[in-house]
Amino acid sequence: MLLALVVALASSGGGFDGFFRIAAGLALLVAIVFGVVRPPVARMLRRHAPDGVPSPMVLAVLLIGLFVCAMLTEWLHLHAVFGAFIFGIGLPRDDRLLRALEQRIEPLSIIVLMPIFFALAGLGTSAGAFTNASLGAMGLILLVATVGKIVGGAAGARVCGYGWSESLATGSLMNSRGLMELIVIKVGLDAGLIGPALFTMLLVMALLTTAATGPLLTLIAQFHKPSEESRRHGSQPGM
């Protein structure tokens, strides 16, 4: 939601009139999805997919609705991902439907769409991010991103009463950006909020922090294991 606000501000060119038109169009789209589209879609699912498994025709209707909402947000000078997001949260909540959609759509997304997304992301990179002057900025971005996530996640877990190993593991898991980070920075690049050089730096940061999650968790487990064993031995009678 905050990202949509930032993109709307950027797309309006800093003018209040442009921002108001985008915000009003987005509000109208949300009202239509929840007030007009959601009730008949819910009736359609209850009638034609009572077990949560949509027929090919129902699946086609859902995909058409998704693409139409994506097209409308793109027409509003927002990113298409926001329209897809609005249509998704407008669907009735049903775990069975969610699992069925994952089984139908996920293979196509992973095999076809995800490689295309990474190819488009690669086309947006710049070799200028690896010059001597930019490497320092990339290192600073990586340092701030890693320390902010690990320290922030660990501090939050400690406040909730968890031990140091669980807290550090929480911070390490929070440090993993994954695909969502790539989507966010790709939206920023498409909207002109960031340039190719900064996009490349953030892309490298997202890949490195995600790849570092496994080794960090292993390191935390190995560091904590001796203290756990010594604590168990120390609690035995006569020790």
DSSP per residue, 12-62? TTT-HHHHHHHHHHHHHHHHHIIIIIHHHHHHHHHHH-TTS---HHHHHHH
If asked whether residues 96 and 135 sit together in one domain, one would say no
If asked whether residues 75 and 137 sit together in one domain, one would say no
Q: Would you say residue 8 lies in a domain?
A: yes
pLDDT, mean of each 10-residue run, the chain (239 residues): 78 76 90 93 89 88 94 89 91 87 87 84 81 84 92 93 90 88 86 86 90 90 63 48
Question: How many domains are there within the chain?
Answer: 2
Q: Would you say residue 19 lies in a domain?
A: yes
Residue 1: predicted pLDDT: 74
Residue 225: predicted pLDDT: 65
Range of the domain at 23: 2-100
Q: Would you say residue 114 lies in a domain?
A: no
If asked whether residues 218 and 133 sit together in one domain, one would say yes
Residues with Cβ < 8 Å from 42, sequence gap 6 or more? 92
If asked whether residues 96 and 133 sit together in one domain, one would say no
If asked whether residues 58 and 148 sit together in one domain, one would say no
Domain boundary among 32, 65, 100: 100
If asked whether residues 80 and 132 sit together in one domain, one would say no
Q: Would you say residue 184 lies in a domain?
A: yes
Q: Would you say residue 121 lies in a domain?
A: no
The two tokens of residue 219 are 């390191």
Residue 155: predicted pLDDT: 94
If you ran DSSP here, which 8-state letter would residue 161 be given? T
Residue 140: predicted pLDDT: 92
If asked whether residues 134 and 94 sit together in one domain, one would say no
Classify burial at 33, counting beta carbons within 10 Å of its beta carbon; exposed 0-12, middle 13-18, buried 19 or more: buried
Is 77 within 8 Å of 92 (Cβ atoms)?
no
Residues with Cβ < 8 Å from 48, sequence gap 6 or more? 54, 55, 57, 58
Q: pTM higher than 0.95 for the full model?
A: no
Residue 233: predicted pLDDT: 47
If asked whether residues 81 and 158 sit together in one domain, one would say no
Residue 106: predicted pLDDT: 86
If asked whether residues 142 and 55 sit together in one domain, one would say no
Determine the Cα–Cα distance for residues 76 and 20; give it in Å rounded to an integer: 11
Q: Would you say residue 107 lies in a domain?
A: no
Residue 94: predicted pLDDT: 85
Classify burial at 132, counting beta carbons within 10 Å of its beta carbon; exposed 0-12, middle 13-18, buried 19 or more: exposed
CA distance to 26, 54, 83, 215, per residue, from 104 (Å): 29, 10, 20, 33
b/e sequence 34-65, b meaning 16+ C-beta within 10 Å: eeebbeebeebbeeebeeebbeeebbebbeeb
If asked whether residues 9 and 64 sit together in one domain, one would say yes
Residues with Cβ < 8 Å from 73, sequence gap 6 or more? 26, 29, 79, 80, 81, 82, 83, 86
Q: Would you say residue 234 lies in a domain?
A: no
Q: Would you say residue 81 lies in a domain?
A: yes
Q: What share of the chain is helix, strand, coil (3-state, %, to 5)?
A: 80, 0, 20
If asked whether residues 86 and 147 sit together in one domain, one would say no
If asked whether residues 6 and 96 sit together in one domain, one would say yes
Determine the Cα–Cα distance for residues 140 and 124; give it in Å rounded to an integer: 21
